[in-house]
Structure 1
Amino acid sequence: MTDDQNWKFLLQFLPRDWEQKAKELGALTRQRKITSAELLLRILLIHLADGCSMRETVIRARESGLADISDVALFKRLKASSEWLRWISVHLVEQVHGIVKKPDWLEGFNVRVVDGSIITEPGSTGSDWRLHYSIELFGLSCDYFRITDQTVGETFCNFPINKGDLVIGDRGYGSIRGINHVIDNEGHFLVRIRNKAFKLITERNEEFILLDHFRKLEYGEIGDYEVLYNYSNNQYNKIRLCAIRKSPENAERSRKVAINEMKKKQRQLHPDTIELYEYVFVITSVTGDVLSAGEIMSLYRMRWQVELAFKRLKTILGLGHLPKTDLESSKAWLHGKMLVALLTTAIVDKGRFFSPWGYPSPQVI
């Protein structure tokens, strides 16, 4: 394919009205030099997808005959495009996964997904940064980010928590210090945990052995257990542990990945740890009278449905120059990176299955 053919192919995956929204959301208020939403997006993607600096982006745009603008002008265009880029991302998720609308049973919660990524800026003097970011699950808006050096690890403590927040994290966020931070600020958490990340006990002060309970689960059955953990100085907090058995295919796939990773590190997994890969298990502070076990696992599944996009986002975040001094431009950069990740997911994972010719047909009335 030629570059123009590749570009036309990519445009097939964008939601209806994406060009009109550029004007409505303030991305294209002036059409001097950049005369259309299509041209604006094409130039922004050189910066966002290829990881070029602003200066390199405008040079490429000029040499390819797209537009002759300054890097300062492009920076302003990116900043103004933040909400437009977010809008396209939301509709890409809706198009691929159909999960954007918040269900009624989550009314009252501000559902946030948190993650972190190492960013190595290009060049011989490039620095390593860790970007900690929070994205609203229903709306895909970046509501907070923090830039630290790479020694600051992933924890809920990196984020401000407000009453009504329900933060979702992967295994790296399953620490006592982190979940205490959420509870102390009147928020709620939903997080996957590692085996023996911390000790769970029953109300009879007996250790809660995961496999003793999980082995009793049938396929499709969700285990819902009230457990305690040591909050501080032998003061115990009550939380819930929810678990479901994976399909045999998914379980085998998870075991193989884990075993291969340990082989690379020249380490061995304990047999109990290997068996636990047959289950998905999470802990949460949300009580059973508020959300059922089925709703808890459904919410985690919603997060998982965009997991590939988040994984690609972590890779794509490593490409480029992170704005570190301007809050709004940094948010626009993150929204743009999310768009690239979701667009990649749509093309790679869905595109070839839409039709015999490998991309979705234009929508018709």
Structure 2
Amino acid sequence: MHCAFDLEREQFDFLEITDQSEAELIDRVPVVAGEIRIGDRAYLQAERIAKVMAQGGDVVVRAAWKNVRWLDASGKPFDLIGHLKSCREEVIETPVWLGLKKKGEPPKMRLIALRKSEAATQEARRKINKEAKAKGKQVQPETLIAAGFVILVTSLDQEEFPSGTVLKLYRMRWRIELAFKRLKSLIGLRAPPAKDPRIAKPWILAHFLIALVTEPLSQELGVSPP
């Protein structure tokens, strides 16, 4: 199940149901020129971000240090970890380009990294080490360094959207999580009663139909759906 949530209207405005082979894609939803798409690490997809930008959209996406090929202005590899280590500011910003797997112009982005507090950094590293130990894996030193930052990439204009504004935009993602919780608790959205697509798909669509009907009414009345 793939959804898009309109933060301004506080409503889901896109739904597509596929099987498990379909991945999350930042360009799955038709692009509306001027819109801003906010996504977590799973949406750091260079080719698809380039498609969104080519159609007039912008993105704010969280990044992991090794999920993409980082390039500098000359097209050479950009040492993200080395750059983070060399900076002392609380908020770090620098231009970067995302390397494409196929031929094409790498999209130019703004990399914005917010330094975490010492307590938050230690907690993030503790979780990383715990998970790696459980899986019998070795943690890369770069991963522990990156754990000390919230790293974002965005195509938004720097003058209109300074780094502080971009960070605030990304924090609005929590409203999407709340929207899903509301669906689960208020309209009974949970696992379908059967694995058969002929049963599961209508079941999911019926529940989202309830959401589409009740959400606008709840906003007009200023109450939550029953």
| TM-score, normalised via structure 1 length | 0.50
Superposition map of 1:229-308 within 5 A: 229-231=98-100, 232-233=102-103, 235-303=105-173, 305-306=174-175
Change (3 A) 1:171 1:311: farther
Q: Which amino acid aligns with 1:223?
A: I
- What corresponds to 1:318 in structure 2? 190
Q: Which amino acid aligns with 2:208?
A: S
After TM superposition, give the deviation of residue 162 of structure 1 in Å.
Answer: 1.1
After TM superposition, give the deviation of residue 153 of structure 1 in Å.
Answer: 0.8
Between the aligned partners of 1:250 and 1:318, the Cα distance in structure 2 is 32
Between the aligned partners of 2:91 and 2:27, the Cα distance in structure 1 is 30
- Secondary structure of 1:244's counterpart equals strand
- What corresponds to 1:156 in structure 2? 26
Structure showing the higher helix proportion among its residues: 1
Moved more, 173-182 or 162-171: 173-182
Q: How many residues align?
A: 205
Matched, 1:222 2:94: no
Between the aligned partners of 2:122 and 2:181, the Cα distance in structure 1 is 23
| TM-score, normalised via structure 2 length | 0.78
Between the aligned partners of 2:214 and 2:135, the Cα distance in structure 1 is 35
- Secondary structure of 2:98's counterpart equals strand
Question: Any gaps of 5 or more consecutive residues in structure 2?
Answer: 194-199, 216-226
Between the aligned partners of 2:176 and 2:12, the Cα distance in structure 1 is 16
After TM superposition, give the deviation of residue 269 of structure 1 in Å.
Answer: 1.7
Q: Which amino acid aligns with 2:22?
A: V
Fraction of identical pairs, as percent: 25
After TM superposition, give the deviation of residue 184 of structure 1 in Å.
Answer: 2.7
Pairing partner for 2:40 from 148, 170, 188:
170
Choose between structure 1 and 2 for higher RCO, CA contacts under 8 A separated by at least 6 residues.
1
Change (3 A) 1:274 1:253: same
**Preserved contact between residue 323 and residue 333 of structure 1 (Cα < 8 Å):** no
Q: Which amino acid aligns with 2:92?
A: G
Question: Any gaps of 5 or more consecutive residues in structure 1?
Answer: 1-130, 338-365
Q: CA RMSD in A?
A: 2.9
**Preserved contact between residue 134 and residue 143 of structure 1 (Cα < 8 Å):** yes
Matched, 1:330 2:208: yes
After TM superposition, give the deviation of residue 143 of structure 1 in Å.
Answer: 0.7
User: Which entry has the higher C-alpha Rg, 1 or 2?
Assistant: 1
Between the aligned partners of 2:107 and 2:114, the Cα distance in structure 1 is 23
Change (3 A) 1:324 1:285: farther
**Preserved contact between residue 142 and residue 335 of structure 1 (Cα < 8 Å):** no
**Preserved contact between residue 125 and residue 147 of structure 2 (Cα < 8 Å):** yes
**Preserved contact between residue 242 and residue 283 of structure 1 (Cα < 8 Å):** yes
- Secondary structure of 1:156's counterpart equals coil
